[in-house]
Amino acid sequence: MMKSPRFDIDLDKHYNATVVIACDCGHEVRHHLASLHPDKPLRCHCGADISMPAAALDLAQRRTEALKASYRVH
C-alpha cells in the first residue's frame, strides 16, 4: 500500500484552499484543492510525480472545513 503524501492546507484571503504537498526531495508543490483529482500526478521541481489518492483528498477537504469552522467561515 502506498503511503499518503505529507501535505498542509493554506487558505487565501477569500478562504479558498491550496494544498501544499511535500516531496521527498524537500520541495513543496502547491495546487488549489478545488482542482485536484485523485491520483492525478503533479510534477515536483526535482522531476518526481506526486499524487494524492482519494483518501488523502478527503482528509484535505475535512481539514479545510475544520479550518473554516475555526475562523467561523461557511
Distance CA 24, CA 16 (A): 26
pTM of the model: 0.86
Q: How many CB atoms lie within 10 A of CB 4?
A: 13
Residues 65 and 43: their CA atoms lie apart, in Å, by 26
For residue 2, the Cα-to-chain-centroid distance in whole angstroms is: 17
For residue 3, what pLDDT is reported? 64
Max distance between CA atoms of the chain, in angstroms, equals 39
pLDDT 10s per residue in the chain (74 long)?
Answer: 456 789 999 999 999 999 999 999 999 999 999 999 998 999 999 999 998 999 999 999 999 999 999 989 87
